[in-house]
Chain A
Amino acid sequence: MTDDTVIEAPSTKDHKLGNEIIVCRDVKKWFGDFQALCGISTTVREREVVVIIGPSGSGKSTFLRTLNRLEPHDEGTIIIDGVELNNDLRNVEKIRSEVGIVFQQFNLFPHLTIERNISLALTHVRHLKKSAAKELVVSLLERVGIPEQIDKYPAQLSGGQQQRVAIARALAMQPKIMLFDEPTSALDPEMIKEVLDVMHELAESGMTMVVVTHEMGFAKGVADRIMFMDEGLIVEQGTPAEFFEAPKEDRTKLFLSQIL
């Protein structure tokens, strides 16, 4: 399946997709002898929400992490907002400050208050004054629905609250793209919804998002495109309707039959 068919596919949202903001060509990645990515080519357009699904070990998290170079790719090209990701540290730091990521394990800084967790990069990367940073922190915490937690430490919050702080922390840098690496997999079931709600709201606001998740409800309801990966390759992709109702590949059908 080529990218063109995807882009021509009717969007489930009324907003229009913009220019290509992520361009990947034949991205390959090895861990020692094991090839994790076997040539990924795809593009993501502004305001598009792409959900990547696939069995564990399929390379979906690895692919996501190559997009802000937490995992350097070995071959191929990745261009984010017109800047190529390579060994040039200036490019990497520029892209990282424009691409937010939310991790499965939250990765909040346990020694800092919620306020400092969110404002750290504002004061040290964006060089904002403390007062300006604090204003932004307050508005972000209001956006994710937990402004009263500003002076607490991460360990004092529930998992769902921590993940919402992690989203606020990534949003603080005003990223053009948000990456989500299984953001609800480490959460207790009753906390999953509060995080998905925040992500849903974010998608509605027009954020470009690439999401690795097992939440099929979220994928069906929010995604513009589902991308199914297995063994380091994109097996099949399409709109949620196409993908869930009429999968073309046998592997996709097998996977869907196992999870649905």
Chain B
Amino acid sequence: MEVSQIMTAASRPIAPSLPPHVVAYRWTRANLFSSPGNAVLTFVTVVILGFAAYQGSSFVFATAEWEIVETNRGLFFTGRFPRDEFWRIWIALHGIAALSGLSWRLWGSLNLRLPLIFAAACVPLYILMLEGWPLLWTSTCIATFGAAYFAAWPIRFSRFSETARNVTVGLWILGFAAAMLPTALYPSFLPGQGGLFSHVPDRQWGGLFLTMVLAGVGIGVAFPLGILLAVGRASTFPVIRIFCVAYIELIRAVTLVTILFMSFFILRLAVRHETSVLGIPITGYEVSVVFMAMLGLILFSAAYIAEIVRGGLQAVPRGQVEAGQALGLGGVQVLALIVLPQALRAVIPALVSQFISLFKDTSLVFILALTDLLAIARIAPAQPGFIGDHAEALIFVALIYWVVAFSMSRASQQLERNLGVGER
């Protein structure tokens, strides 16, 4: 079905009434063997691809020892996070699952082909990772996702769809603020022990959990900050403009590794010593290393996001601003209602690239001795019993990175389609 679709699309001059094998023959002839040079190229490519596929699959299905992943799944997913506190992460995951289900129904594609490919890619993760409690929790997560999806089923095309979408966006922001930020700030601002929640030192955070917290908070904070910087750079107030330009150009001239080092070692030293003003201690806190890593990632990404958004701002015609002003809208209203919506939708592809980039850059926090997902893949093969199983660990981690990055990419394409980019 799919193959014949591709072929008819590729061989438009051929009448659709021809039998499929003739279509296939002509397509192959036209596209793969059109000249002696192309024939050789096709042959060599097939040999190389076949060899790679054979080697790859024989490794994955025969040679590889996947016990390293099965045994260490806790490590891969949460690092050294204490097992007794896993319920916190599961609660958060259920919230995310519910909101994702809701969002998928309210915004998502109605085409089921891609979700199925995506689900197929997740199956190996599922089989490898699950038994006992995690299996139960994962299943309830999926059930929550489905329940939210079907609960929102009738809303998509009803007159409440806009309200429902606004509420969902609000819930995402609320959930983000309520869960992610306090979690991120917890070690540095709240007393360590006692109360309802026991203290989990941030050094024990790790694996996919740490990667997602860093990337999630990073994107969630760097994006609005980047917008502010871009708007500031276009400001007519010299002080604001110069500050924004200086910030952006300074940060872009420095590597992320440098910023991570600086944010941790220098800032940490600066606030560590007991200093008080009028008897109120302003320093002397033990600063969270995760918070500092987060800060570094945010400060770094915000500069790049600012430049992307600036490109979008410049793409909005001057007449749009004038039309808004002429209606009596104030400066902030013109920006928020007219300019930014157009500017941001013009730069969605570049923005999402930056977000994916930030997600992958989180692996650099290993220089602060944090054990993110990639760091676990480097540590795990050092355990007795798994010595040398580097490839297995890296392939597994690569699959997770791909699943996350690919979903971000798909989500952005869906967003573009929903917003009608290029049509309006």
Binding site for B on A (CB under 8 A): 68, 70, 93-94, 96-97, 99-101, 103, 105, 107-111, 120-121, 124-125, 153-155, 169-170, 173
Question: Known contacts A107-B319, A109-B323: does B424 contact A125 (CB below 8 Å)?
Answer: no
Residue of B nearest to A126 (CB): B328
Task: Collect the chain A residues with CB atoms within 8 Å of residue B419's CB.
Answer: 111
* A103 with B328: CB separation less than 8 A: no
14 A/B residue pairs, CB under 8 Å, sorted by A: A93-B328, A96-B328, A97-B328, A100-B326, A101-B326, A107-B319, A108-B323, A110-B342, A111-B342, A111-B419, A120-B329, A153-B424, A154-B424, A173-B328
Given the known interface contacts A70-B322, A103-B323, A107-B320, the answer about A125 and B329 at a Cβ–Cβ threshold of 8 Å is yes
In the complex, B325 has a CB within 8 A of chain A? yes
A109 CB contacts on chain B under 8 angstroms: 320, 323-324, 338, 342
Give the docked Cα–Cα distance between A100 and B328 (Å): 9
Contact between chains at B345 and A111 (CB < 8 Å): yes
Smallest Cβ-Cβ distance to A95: which chain B residue? B328
Give Cα A155–Cα B424 distance, bound, in whole angstroms: 5
Q: Which residues of A contact B341 (CB under 8 A)?
A: 111
**Cβ proximity bits B327-350 to A, threshold 8 Å, 1 near / 0 not:** 111100100011001100100000
Docked CA distance A110–B424 (Å): 6
How near does chain A come to B163, taking the closest CB pair, in angstroms? 11
Residues of chain A with a CB closer than 8 A to B274's CB: none
In the bound complex, do residue B320 and residue A153 qualify as a contact, i.e. CB atoms below 8 Å apart?
no
In Å, the complex CA distance between A101 and B326 comes to 7
B332, chain A: closest CB distance, angstroms: 10
Which residues in A have their C-beta under 8 angstroms from that of B320?
A: 107, 109
Report, nearest first, the 9 A-B pairs whose CB atoms are least far apart: A97-B328, A107-B323, A121-B327, A107-B319, A96-B328, A125-B328, A101-B326, A153-B424, A110-B424
Bound together, the chains give a CA A70 to CA B327 distance in angstroms of 11
Between A96, A109, A170, the greatest number of chain B beta carbons within 10 A of the residue's beta carbon is seen for A109
Report the separation of the CA atoms of residues A70 and B328 in the bound assembly, to the nearest whole angstrom: 11
Q: Which residue of B lies closest to A68 (CB)?
A: B326
- Contact A96/B345 with A107-B320, A124-B337, A155-B424 known, Cβ cut-off 8 Å: no
Question: 18 new A-B pairs (CB below 8 Å) besides A111-B342, A120-B329, A121-B328?
Answer: A68-B326, A93-B330, A94-B328, A96-B327, A96-B328, A97-B327, A103-B319, A103-B322, A107-B317, A109-B338, A111-B341, A111-B419, A124-B329, A125-B328, A125-B333, A153-B424, A169-B327, A170-B327
